[in-house]
Amino acid sequence: MQWRVVAEGGKCRFLVFGHLTLGEHEYANRGRIEIDAQRKQFVFRPDADGLWAKRYPHASYRLVISTPKEVEAIGGDELLYLDGERRGGGYAVIRSRQTRAVAFAVVGSMTDEQQAAALAAKYAKGVDDGVLSAQSTRAWRQISRGARLLGGGAEAKAVDTVLPWFVHDAMMHLTAPHGLEQYSVAAWGTRDVCQGSVELLLALEHDEPVKAILRIVFAQQYEKQGDWPQWFMLEPYSAIQDKAAHGDIVIWPLKALCDYVEATGDFGFLDEPIVWRRDDDFQTTEHADPVVVHVAKLVATIRERFIPGTHLVCYGNGDWNDSLQPVDPAKRDWMTSSWTVALLCQQLRRYADVLRAAGRARAARDHDALAAAMKKDFTRLLIRDGVVAGYGEFSPNGGPPELLLHPSDRTTGVSFSLIALTQAIVGGMLTAAQARRHANLIAKHLLLPDGAHLMDKPLAYHGGSETIFRRGESAAFFGREIGLMYVHAHLRYAEAMNVLGDRQALWDALLVANPIAVTERLDHASPRQRNAYFSSSDAAFRDRYEAHAKWELVKAGGVAVDGGWRIYSSGPGIYVALVVQHALGLRRRFGKRFSKRNLPATQKRLRLTGVPPSR
């Protein structure tokens, strides 16, 4: 990475300081640091006893200054204080003389110290900015396909402008999953990588990287348990993972597999042998089995988790809404999530279609039959008075379930769950009339000025005490899922509107999730960074008590809404896929391209360049 900082006008002095992280965690700065004051260079190496050094003993990074004559001193945090005394902070500091510009770079290698030194020598002499810029432009153009929206007005311009930035954000989430507010983690979430990353790459027709992702993901499946970890690190840290998982995690690899084969027609991948993970030490097995065997184990695991007497998979440790994990451990086995059931049923039907297209009709019929049984129980047990519930809580003694997040719910006081309603539409669990009715319920109860909200009201907060759902009742911060406008779920609402052919609702949903367009559309939207994806729209209440007491202000647009966490989410990839595959309608079916636009009449001249890629 290279920086050149220029002051307009007269000369000035620069103080440049960087916060060092030389390990796995924030403030981990015990690594080895060498300061070469004469050559104006820093050398950074990992702590010999740390995890980084054990995996990459020859890692070496250097901060080099290509304008050394303009620099007065380099050092540690002593240069930050007038008394020149060190405080022990983990900083690298550059202090310049009176100058108009300073330039510096960070270079290095994870495996070769000599390569790092050679790069440092090159950058110390200065590098042609134009060459680097051209290389960077070509690389990002290849990733984004140079996709541009042409022929539209101001609204389309906002989408066009943000599109390459969202590609950027989605690639950050895939390659180094850090966000600007959650920057001390670096693992793949099984759920996350199987959504935004896969959907982005397939929309832009980067098929080989998707196949690589699937190989990595399926190689994480536990051989005996048949499930996946909630999150896992990549090699050489792959033994570090969270074995516990929410009840929906087992579904996402199947969803990603269907996405890939449906788009590419690569039926041969179903027979590709892939290893497993041992359940005890997380190491890979010596033997490998075809992908279809992995899926068979996945389905067998799901069958084992059906609530007795039903074809409804149990809730487990939670579903996509991380704020609604059950307090009572017994509920994990006797609750079911309508969203999880609808998501699973959809993927089983899709996999059956894949198997039929691959010439495996008998196996396809088995999966169709299972999906049909699930849909029957979904309709019988989770729809009451014509409304899909968020959850069903069964009793070991039998009888119909108590429905939560439903108009009949007297336990939580919440009547509607967005993800349950939208996934029922997207997953084909409803008749056409039922789907339209649920869209009307969303519009009436969940669609607020800043987008579709997870529930019609927040859960009551009583100082952090927990009775039904853990974080939903105990989290003090009113934002992200707790604040209810979680953009990822809002984008799935947009997908549901596409399924219903509601072109204007789809387009409006894309605009309100756009950091450029939202502040033009909403007077109460706080100013925000316009080139970053925001994971949520957070009503600016002082605390959860005020949020609960004044919730009607959110519905009326009477309280400011702030941009929440930036970049760290599957959302940017989902957004790009919605624009390309749904709004512009550029899709593939078993390797054959087709187009089915779903744009409002105001955008009839809009077209996309760069996708599909030229051959």
Positions marked active-site: 322
Which ranges of 329-383 does DSSP label H, i.e. alpha helix? 331-334, 338-357, 361-381
d(CA 76, CA 90): 7
First to last CA, the chain: 32
Q: Which residues touch 361 (CB under 8 Å, ≥6 apart)?
A: 355
Token duo for residue 480? 């992200």
3-state secondary structure of 392: strand
Give the residue among 89, 120, 87, 102 at the shortest CA–CA distance from 14.
102
Q: CB–CB of 220/190 below 8 Å? A: yes
d(CA 144, CA 163): 9
Token duo for residue 511? 């605009």
Q: CB–CB of 220/174 below 8 Å? A: no
Which ranges of 265-360 does DSSP label H, i.e. alpha helix? 291-304, 331-334, 338-357
Q: CB–CB of 469/325 below 8 Å? A: yes
d(CA 60, CA 437): 60
3-state secondary structure of 613: coil
H/E stretch holding 199 reads helix 198-203
Burial class of 458 by CB neighbour count within 10 A (0 to 12, 13 to 18, 19+): buried
Q: Which residues touch 330 (CB under 8 Å, ≥6 apart)?
A: none
Which ranges of 219-287 does DSSP label H, i.e. alpha helix? 252-264
Residue-wise DSSP of 551-563: HHHHHHT-S-EEE
d(CA 316, CA 245): 8
Q: List Cβ<8 Å contacts ≥24 apart for 279-287.
A: 279/222, 279/223, 279/224, 279/225, 281/239, 282/238, 282/239, 282/241, 282/243, 283/239, 284/219, 285/223
d(CA 334, CA 11): 70
d(CA 599, CA 604): 7
Residue appearing with tokens 């699973």: 344
Token duo for residue 124? 């110390």
Q: CB–CB of 253/219 below 8 Å? A: no
Partners of 273 in the beta sheet? 290
Q: Which residues of 89-128 are buried (b: 16+ CB within 10 A; e: fewer)?
A: bbbbbbbbeebeebbbbbbbbeeebeebbebbeebbeebe
